[in-house]
C-alpha cells in the first residue's frame, strides 16, 4: 500500500505540496505521545495506590483527595481517555495524512483539539478527585464534562474525516477501521453516558452499562488500534498484508459481532437469559473473527520472522498480537455461564483487563513510539539497551501480573462458593496481591527506563540541531 | 459496498451499532416498561429505613441535629440522595457489588437472589451492580449491623475486621472522631441501611429480645 501511495504521490499532484512535512504536523504527534505518557504515569500512581491499599501498605491515609477509591477511577479513566486517546490521536495525525495524501481539515483546529482534549481529561480527573464521579464503569467522567467530551469527539471525527472523504479510489483497511471508529466512539460515548443517567434505571441501565464497557474496548480502542497495526506492520516489514480477503472478514466480523457483546459483563443478573445467551454467542463469534486477523498478520510475518528479534517495534507489535489472541481465547471461555459462576467479581477479570489494555494496546503504542520518536526527533535512540529493558520489564511484568491475577481469581471464586467467612478470601488473596504489586512495579520500572531514554534522546537531538 | 465509504459509515458504523442497541438495550427497556420507577421519596416511605434513621438521631443527637435536624421523611430523602451520591463518588461500587446471583451459594451467604423490581428506582440510575467484589455484596447489608458498627467501620475498618483492605473514610467525621459522623457520614450510613430494606427478610430489630430472654427455656 505505502509503495502504491508513494508512486501516486510522485505522479499525480506534484511532490511539492504532498511531501511529508506538509502532510504531517510532526510536533503535534510528539506532543500527543508525551501527553499520553504523562497520563500513563498518573494512571500508574492510581494503580500503585490501589495495589498498596489491598496489601495494607498504603501510607497515604486520611485525605479524601488521596482516597484509593477515587484514585482507582482515575487509574482506569487516565488510561482510556488520557493515555490511549492521546496516543491514538498521535497515531492518527501520523497515519491519516500519509495514507490519504491530504492534510487534516485544519491545523489550528488540530491544536485546538489537542488543548481541548487535555482540558477534558484533566477536568475528568479533577471531578473524580472531588467525588463527582458518574456511576458508569469506565465512564466516571463527571456528568457536566460529557457534552464537552462529545463535542471533542465530533471535532476529531471532522478533522480526520475531511482527508478521508477526499481520498479517491479504493480505501486501505486502516481507513475502514478509522472511519467506523469515529462513528462508533461518538455513539458509544453518547449511549453509555447519557441513557443510564437520564433515561433508564435498573436492569435496562445495567444492559446499557455492559454495552458501554464493552463498546469502549471493542468499538473505540480495538478498531483504532488494529487500524494502526494494518498501517505500521506492512511498512515496517516492507511487504503488503498477507490476505485482503481476511482483512475484509476481520473488519466486517468485528463490525457485526463486537457491538452485540456487552451484556456478557452481567450474566446471572435480572437481564433476561435470551439476551445473555445472545451476548455469549456473539462473544465466541468474535474469537473466530480475531483468529482470522491473527492468521492474516502472522501470514504477513511469514518469511521475515527474524524481524521479531531485530526490529524492536515489530517485536512490540507481535508480542501484543500474541497476547491479544490469548486475551480473546480467554474471553471466549470466560463469557460462558460455567466460567462466570466461578470467576465473575474476582481478580480473574482484573487480570484479563490488564492483559488487554497493557499487554496489547499499550504495547502497540510503545512499538509505535519506539518507531516514531527517532523520526520525530531526527535522532536515533540514546540507548538500545534501555529500549530492551523497556520491552522486557513491560512484557515480564504484565505476564506475571496476568498469571497471578488469573490464579487469584480462581482461588477467590472457590473461597466465596465454599461459604467460609469473607475474610478467608482476603487472606487467600494476600500473596497474590503482593505478587501483583511487584509485577506492577516492574511495569512502572520499564516505563521509567523508556522515559529516561526518551529524555536523553531529546537532549541529543537538541545538541545535534544546535550543531547543525 | 464492503470497501466503500458509505458502506463502512452507514452499515458498519451506524447500522450495526443501531442493531446492537435495539436488540441489547431497547429490548430490556421494553420488557421492563411496566415496572414503575420509584422515586427517592417513595423509597424513603419505608418503616425499616425510618427506624434506622431515627436510630441515627438517637445515637448521634448533636451531629444529627446539626446536619439534618428532624428525623422526618424529607430529611431522610435528602440523606438517601446524598448517600447514594457518595457511594458513587467514592467508588464504593468498584469493590462491592449490589446483586445476588443464583449460583455459587450466593443466596446462602447473603439472601434472596436479585430481581429486576429491586433496581427499578431513582437510586439505581445508573445501576450500582458493580463488577468486582473485593468486599462482600451489599445489596442485603441494610439492617444486618447497627449504625454504631457502621460509624466505627467507616472510620477504621481494620478495628472491626483486622485484615480488611478497605480504606479509612476520615472525611465522613467531624474532629476525626468516630462518634461524630458528619453530614456525609450520616448519609452513607443511611444509604447502606437502605440496601435491602425493601425485603421481607430485612432484620427487624423491633422484635429484638435481650440475650437472657433468648436463653430462657420457652417451656418454663
Q: What is the CATH number of the domain that holds A14?
A: 1.20.210.10
Q: Is residue B215, in this structure, part of any structural domain at all?
A: no
pLDDT in tens, B56-66: 999 999 999 99
User: B38-42, long-range: CB within 8 Å, 24+ apart, which pairs?
Assistant: B38/B120, B38/B121, B38/B122, B39/B121, B39/B122, B40/B77, B40/B80, B40/B81, B40/B84, B40/B121, B40/B122, B40/B123, B41/B73, B41/B77, B42/B121
pLDDT in tens, A316-353: 999 999 999 999 999 999 999 999 999 999 999 999 99
Note the pLDDT of residue B218: 63
Query: A206 CB near a chain B CB, below 8 Å?
Result: yes
Distance between B40 CA and the closest CA of chain A, angstroms: 13
Are A69 and B129 a contacting pair at CB < 8 A?
no
What is the span of the domain harbouring residue B26? Answer: 1-31
What is the span of the domain harbouring residue A3? Answer: 1-169
Q: What is the CATH number of the domain that holds B132?
A: 1.10.760.10
Q: Is residue B212, in this structure, part of any structural domain at all?
A: no
d(CA A296, CA B84): 49
Query: B6 CB near a chain A CB, below 8 Å?
Result: no
**Torsion angle defined by CA atoms of residues B4, B6, B8 and B11, in that order, rounded to the nearest 10 degrees:** -130
Other beta carbons less than 10 A from residue B85's beta carbon:
19
Q: Is residue B17, in this structure, part of any structural domain at all?
A: yes
The strand pairing partners of A345, in sequence order, are B132
Q: Is residue B213, in this structure, part of any structural domain at all?
A: no
Distance between A6 CA and the closest CA of chain B, angstroms: 21
* Residues B156, B106 within the same domain: yes
* Residues B50, B25 within the same domain: no
Are B99 and A270 a contacting pair at CB < 8 A?
yes
Q: What is the ipTM of this complex?
A: 0.92
d(CA B76, CA B70): 9
| A298 CB burial (10 A radius; 0-12, 13-18, 19+) | middle
| A274 CB burial (10 A radius; 0-12, 13-18, 19+) | exposed
pLDDT in tens, A81-140: 999 999 999 999 999 999 999 999 999 999 999 999 999 999 999 999 999 999 999 999
d(CA A344, CA A362): 25
* Residues B52, B134 within the same domain: yes
Placement of cell 501511495 in the chain: A5
pLDDT in tens, A26-66: 999 999 999 999 999 999 999 999 999 999 999 998 899 99
Query: B134 CB near a chain A CB, below 8 Å?
Result: yes
Point out the residue among B92, B122, B158 whose CB comes nearest to the CB of A201.
B122
Query: A92 CB near a chain B CB, below 8 Å?
Result: no
Point out the residue among B4, B29, B102 whose CB comes nearest to the CB of A204.
B29
Q: Is residue A236, in this structure, part of any structural domain at all?
A: no
What is this structure's pTM?
Answer: 0.93
* Residues B95, B177 within the same domain: yes
Q: Is residue B214, in this structure, part of any structural domain at all?
A: no
And the C-alpha cell for A120? 477534558
pLDDT, mean of residues B74-82: 97
Q: Please state the φ and ψ torsions of residue B38, each to the nearest 5 degrees.
A: -80, 140
The number of angstroms, rounded, from the C-alpha of A330 to the middle of its chain's C-alpha atoms is: 18
How sure is the predictor about A156, in pLDDT bands with cuts at 50, 70 and 90?
very high
Are A269 and B101 a contacting pair at CB < 8 A?
yes
Q: Is residue B188, in this structure, part of any structural domain at all?
A: yes
Query: B10 CB near a chain A CB, below 8 Å?
Result: no
Report how many domains make up chain A.
1
* Residues B19, B63 within the same domain: no
pLDDT in tens, B8-22: 999 999 999 999 999
Amino acid at each position: 500500500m505505502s509503495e502504491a501511495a508513494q508512486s501516486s504521490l510522485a505522479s499525480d499532484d506534484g511532490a511539492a505540496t504532498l511531501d511529508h512535512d506538509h502532510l504531517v504536523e510532526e510536533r503535534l504527534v510528539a506532543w500527543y505521545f508525551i501527553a499520553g505518557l504523562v497520563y500513563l504515569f498518573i494512571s500508574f500512581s492510581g494503580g500503585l495506590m490501589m495495589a498498596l491499599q489491598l496489601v495494607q501498605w498504603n501510607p497515604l491515609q486520611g485525605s479524601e483527595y488521596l482516597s484509593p477509591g477515587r484514585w482507582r477511577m482515575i487509574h482506569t479513566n487516565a488510561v482510556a481517555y488520557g493515555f490511549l486517546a492521546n496516543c491514538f490521536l498521535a497515531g492518527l495525525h501520523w497515519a491519516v495524512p500519509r495514507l490519504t495524501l491530504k492534510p487534516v481539515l485544519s491545523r489550528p483546529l488540530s491544536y485546538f483539539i489537542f488543548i481541548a482534549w487535555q482540558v477534558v481529561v484533566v477536568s475528568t480527573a479533577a471531578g473524580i478527585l472531588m467525588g463527582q464521579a458518574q456511576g458508569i464503569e469506565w465512564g466516571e467522567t463527571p456528568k457536566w464534562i460529557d457534552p464537552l467530551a462529545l463535542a471533542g469527539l465530533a471535532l476529531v471525527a471532522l478533522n480526520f474525516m475531511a482527508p478521508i472523504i477526499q481520498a479517491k479510489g479504493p480505501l486501505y483497511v486502516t481507513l475502514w477501521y478509522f472511519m467506523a471508529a469515529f462513528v462508533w466512539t461518538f455513539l458509544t460515548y453518547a449511549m453509555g453516558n447519557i441513557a443510564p443517567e437520564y433515561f433508564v434505571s435498573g436492569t435496562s441501565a445495567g444492559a446499557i452499562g455492559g454495552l458501554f464497557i464493552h463498546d469502549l474496548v471493542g468499538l473505540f480502542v480495538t478498531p483504532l488500534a488494529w487500524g494502526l497495526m494494518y498501517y505500521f506492520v506492512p511498512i515496517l516489514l516492507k511487504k503488503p498484508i498477507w490476505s485482503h480477503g481476511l482483512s475484509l472478514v476481520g473488519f466486517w466480523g468485528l463490525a457485526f459481532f463486537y457491538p452485540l457483546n456487552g451484556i456478557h459483563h452481567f450474566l446471572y443478573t435480572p437481564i433476561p437469559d435470551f439476551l445473555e445467551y445472545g451476548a455469549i454467542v456473539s462473544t465466541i463469534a468474535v474469537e473466530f473473527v480475531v483468529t482470522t486477523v491473527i492468521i492474516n498478520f502472522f501470514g504477513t510475518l511469514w518469511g521475515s520472522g527474524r524481524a521479531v528479534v531485530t526490529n524492536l517495534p515489530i517485536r512490540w507489535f507481535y508480542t501484543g498480537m500474541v497476547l491479544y489472541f490469548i486475551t480473546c481465547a480467554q474471553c471466549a471461555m470466560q463469557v460462558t455461564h460455567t466460567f462466570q459462576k466461578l470467576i465473575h467479581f474476582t481478580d480473574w477479570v482484573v487480570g484479563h483487563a490488564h492483559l488487554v489494555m497493557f499487554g496489547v494496546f499499550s504495547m502497540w503504542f510503545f512499538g509505535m513510539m519506539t518507531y516514531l520518536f527517532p523520526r520525530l526527533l531526527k535522532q536515533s535512540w540514546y540507548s538500545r539497551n534501555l529500549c530492551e529493558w523497556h520491552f522486557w520489564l513491560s512484557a515480564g511484568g504484565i505476564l506475571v501480573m496476568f498469571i497471578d491475577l488469573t490464579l487469584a481469581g480462581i482461588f477467590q471464586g472457590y473461597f466465596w462458593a465454599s461459604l467460609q467467612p469473607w475474610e478467608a478470601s482476603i487472606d487467600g488473596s494476600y500473596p497474590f496481591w503482593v505478587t501483583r504489586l511487584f509485577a506492577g512495579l516492574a511495569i512502572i520500572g520499564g516505563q521509567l527506563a523508556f522515559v529516561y531514554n526518551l529524555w536523553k534522546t531529546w537532549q541529543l537531538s537538541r545538541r545535534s540541531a544546535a550543531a547543525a | 459496498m464492503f470497501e466503500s465509504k458509505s458502506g463502512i459509515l452507514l452499515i458498519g458504523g451506524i447500522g450495526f451499532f443501531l442493531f446492537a442497541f435495539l436488540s441489547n438495550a431497547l429490548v430490556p427497556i421494553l420488557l421492563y416498561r411496566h415496572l414503575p420507577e420509584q422515586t427517592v421519596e417513595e423509597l424513603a416511605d419505608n418503616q425499616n429505613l425510618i427506624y434506622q434513621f431515627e436510630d441515627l438521631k438517637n445515637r448521634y443527637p448533636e451531629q444529627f441535629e446539626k446536619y439534618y435536624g428532624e428525623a422526618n421523611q424529607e430529611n431522610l430523602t435528602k440523606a438517601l440522595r446524598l448517600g447514594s451520591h457518595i457511594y458513587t463518588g467514592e467508588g464504593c461500587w468498584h469493590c462491592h457489588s449490589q446483586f445476588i446471583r443464583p449460583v455459587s451459594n450466593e443466596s446462602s451467604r447473603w439472601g434472596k437472589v436479585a430481581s429486576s423490581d429491586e433496581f427499578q428506582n431513582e437510586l439505581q440510575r445508573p445501576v450500582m451492580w458493580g463488577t468486582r467484589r473485593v468486599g462482600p455484596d451489599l445489596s442485603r447489608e441494610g439492617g444486618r449491623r447497627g449504625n454504631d458498627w457502621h460509624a466505627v467501620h467507616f472510620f477504621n475498618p481494620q478495628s472491626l475486621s483486622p485484615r480488611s483492605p478497605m480504606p479509612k473514610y476520615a472525611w465522613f467525621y467531624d474532629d476525626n472522631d468516630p462518634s461524630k459522623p458528619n453530614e456525609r457520614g450520616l448519609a452513607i450510613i443511611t444509604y447502606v441501611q437502605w440496601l435491602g430494606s425493601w425485603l421481607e427478610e430485612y432484620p427487624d430489630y423491633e422484635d429484638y429480645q435481650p440475650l437472657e430472654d433468648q436463653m430462657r427455656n420457652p417451656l418454663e
